[in-house]
Every structure is written in structure tokens, then in C-alpha cells.
């Protein structure tokens, strides 16, 4: 009697089919997180991406609590948001100060009685070659973009866990997945923020509270006008401002906001924004060493300089006729998202 055999390929295909069937059977229908009537707290919500998100949350019917360091910027944001809602609470708070973050969260709870969504958006960008950077530059980046996330997230969690529902949306960066030359302190802080966000999601599994990790590439919000530069600061401002303004290299703030709002509703684990960022993240995941070496070649083409003073280069960019024209879309976004009159270098970030 001839013994029957099963070809390995058929066995493999059969296993895949069974696995797919089990996955479909176990998959539960996903209900989007309704934003109407929800309380959304945005750290870093007075301008740029934070303001863009505040506008969209308001349009969705959410109530808003915004914090930033500058009281005047918060007043401008609240005035801007009156087009969509008057249910806005603002409070000046520095995310690097745990006591101020906790005071803001408690004040928001007293105002609204709950916090349904936290958006950790506060950040700063420091651009310059490694030899111009100081330990203080790294410490500042970590305070704002790592510890700021930690303080706010841990402050809102008790309320969310008690109700068994909530979203913590962490705005990180492609720089938190691939370390980019001349942005090393920024990348270090963003890597830490990604680790915190991913670990928090795992720890909160089954509680009804979900973290959403957002990793944008370059965005046209106009934030380059408030970016801090070191070294050959004029040349640094030129390449960074152009990259953050041109379509194809940068994603529009409107599109970024749309994708973040959708990810928040769905409770998406991670969302990388922008085609260049997605491609870079994918390539780095497969070829990390090759990516680092390729970025080393990019680094050789970037400006060199020795200046150790951190400067905001908005005046230079706007006075330079060529740069002014090339960055026109970025500057238009700056006006739209209230970045053009952003705060100058604060005391915390001076070196």
C-alpha cells in the first residue's frame, strides 16, 4: 500500500490559511472613540501642530484644556479657537516642571470633571553639529520631550483608569526611530519618548486606556521659524527651513492633523506620518547599519561651524530674499498656526 505524503508547500499554505482564519474569527469589531463631549488636554497647544489639533478636536465637539509656557500665546490660541468653541481652559505651565504639570492636570479636572484624551505635544528643536552641543542641550531636550511626556501621562492616568477609558497621544518623531545628524539631542529625547509610549501601551493593555505613538517626519507648521540653531547657524537655518517647507519633503499640517485625529479615534498603536518618514523607518528597520552609514554621508554634506550660542534665525530667514521665497509655504503655515510670533529662546534653553 502506497503511503501518502503532503508537500511542504501545501502544509505551509494550509497553516497560513488556518492562522488567518483564526485571526479573523478572533478579531472584534472596532468601535471608534467618540470625541464629541470629550475633554482633551493638550500640552503645547498654543501654536503649531498643537493648535492645529486643538482646532480639529473643537470641530469634533470636544472640550479643551491647553497649556504652554507663554500666557500671551495661550490668549491668542483661545481667541483663535472661538471660531469653533468657547469651551477652552488655558493655563501657563512648563512641562519640564512636574509640579506645574500636575497643577495643570488638577485644574483641568476641577474645571471639567474628567480628562478623556491627553496629547503630549510640547517640544523644541535644536539643530547643530555635535561639536557645538553641550550637556545642557541634551538635558533640555530630555526635560521637554521625555520628562514632559512622563509627568503629564502619569498625572492623567488615575482618572482614566478609574473610568476604564482614555487616550494618551504622544507626539514623537521619525527622529525617535532613526537618529538624524545635527539633531542628536532631539533624537535622543524622541527615542526615549517612543520607548515610554510603547511600554505604556503594553502595560495598559486591557484597561480601556490606550497610548497612541505618532512619529511625524518634517511638517509644514512653520516651526522652523522658532527652531534653535548652533554652529554655522545661517547655513543650518537654510537647509532645515527649506526641508521643512517644501512639499514632498514635508507633510502639510492639515494632513498630519487628519491622520492624528483618525489614529486617536481608532486607538492605533503607532502612526508614522509622511512618505519620506515611512520609507526611512522601513529601510532602517531592515538595514539599521546601512542607514547609519548613509546618514553619515549626509552628515558630511551638512554645514560645519563652531558657534556655541543657540539662536533663533527667524529674522535672517525672512531678510534673505531667496530663503524667504523658497520657504514661502512654511511661512504661510507659520502665520496660519501662530508660529510667526512664537516665543524667542527662553531662559531654560540658553547656553
Q: How far apart are CA 245 and CA 328, in angstroms?
A: 7
Residue among 117, 70, 139 at smallest CA distance from 214:
117
Q: Mapping DSSP to helix (H, G, I), strand (E, B) and coil, where does residue 70 land?
A: coil
Nearby residues of 189 by Cβ (< 8 Å), 6 or more positions away: 141, 142, 144, 145, 146
DSSP letter assigned to residue 247: B
Q: How far apart are CA 114 and CA 159, in angstroms?
A: 7
Residue among 228, 227, 217 at smallest CA distance from 132:
228
Q: How far apart are CA 242 and CA 226, in angstroms?
A: 14
Query: What is the signed CA dihedral for 46, 76, 110, 269, rounded to 10 degrees?
Result: -20
> Buried b / exposed e across 201-221, counting CB within 10 Å, b at 16+?
beebeeeebbbbbbbbbbbbb
Of 151, 186, 316, 337, the active-site residue reads 186
Residue among 110, 49, 104 at smallest CA distance from 77:
49
Give burial (CB, 10 Å; 0-12/13-18/19+) of 345. middle
- 186 is annotated as an active-site residue: yes
Q: Is residue 292 within 8 Å of 220, Cβ to Cβ?
A: no
Strands (E), 130-187: 166-171
Q: What are phi and psi of 296, to 5 degrees?
A: -65, -35
**Crossing angle for the helix pair 48-59 and 253-266, nearest 10 degrees?**
60
Q: Mapping DSSP to helix (H, G, I), strand (E, B) and coil, where does residue 220 land?
A: strand
Q: Which three cell numbers stand for residue 284?
A: 532602517
Catalytic residue list = 186
Amino acid at each position: 500500500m502506497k503511503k501518502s505524503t503532503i508537500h511542504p508547500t501545501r502544509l505551509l499554505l494550509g497553516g497560513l490559511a488556518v492562522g488567518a482564519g483564526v485571526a479573523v474569527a478572533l478579531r472584534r469589531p472596532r468601535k471608534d472613540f467618540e470625541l464629541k463631549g470629550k475633554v482633551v488636554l493638550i500640552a503645547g497647544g498654543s501654536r503649531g501642530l498643537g493648535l492645529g489639533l486643538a482646532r480639529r478636536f473643537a470641530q469634533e465637539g470636544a472640550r479643551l484644556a491647553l497649556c504652554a509656557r507663554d500666557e500671551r500665546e495661550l490668549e491668542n490660541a483661545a481667541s483663535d479657537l472661538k471660531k469653533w468653541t468657547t469651551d477652552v481652559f488655558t493655563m501657563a505651565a512648563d512641562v519640564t516642571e512636574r509640579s506645574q504639570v500636575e497643577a495643570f492636570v488638577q485644574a483641568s479636572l476641577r474645571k471639567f470633571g474628567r480628562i478623556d484624551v491627553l496629547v503630549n505635544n510640547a517640544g523644541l528643536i535644536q539643530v547643530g553639529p555635535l561639536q557645538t552641543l553641550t550637556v545642557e542641550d541634551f538635558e533640555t531636550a530630555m526635560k521637554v520631550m521625555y520628562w514632559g511626556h512622563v509627568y503629564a501621562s502619569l498625572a492623567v492616568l488615575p482618572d482614566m483608569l478609574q473610568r476604564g477609558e482614555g487616550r494618551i497621544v504622544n507626539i514623537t518623531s521619525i527622529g525617535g526611530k532613526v537618529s538624524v545628524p545635527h539633531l542628536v539631542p532631539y533624537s535622543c529625547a524622541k527615542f526615549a519618548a517612543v520607548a515610554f509610549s510603547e511600554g505604556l501601551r503594553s502595560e495598559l493593555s486591557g484597561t480601556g486606556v490606550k497610548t497612541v505613538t505618532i512619529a511625524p517626519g518634517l511638517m509644514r507648521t512653520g516651526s522652523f521659524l522658532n527652531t534653535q540653531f548652533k554652529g554655522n547657524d545661517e547655513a543650518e537655518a537654510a537647509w532645515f527651513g527649506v526641508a521643512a517647507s517644501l512639499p514632498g519633503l514635508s507633510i502639510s499640517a492639515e494632513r498630519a492633523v487628519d491622520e492624528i485625529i483618525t489614529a486617536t479615534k481608532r486607538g492605533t498603536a503607532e502612526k508614522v506620518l509622511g512618505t519620506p518618514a515611512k520609507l526611512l523607518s522601513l529601510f532602517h528597520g531592515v538595514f539599521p547599519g546601512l542607514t547609519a552609514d548613509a546618514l553619515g554621508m549626509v552628515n558630511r554634506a551638512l554645514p560645519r561651524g563652531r558657534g556655541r550660542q543657540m539662536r533663533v534665525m527667524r529674522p535672517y530667514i525672512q531678510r534673505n530674499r531667496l530663503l524667504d521665497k523658497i520657504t514661502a509655504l512654511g511661512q504661510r503655515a507659520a502665520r496660519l498656526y501662530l508660529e510667526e510670533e512664537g516665543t524667542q529662546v527662553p531662559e531654560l534653553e540658553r547656553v
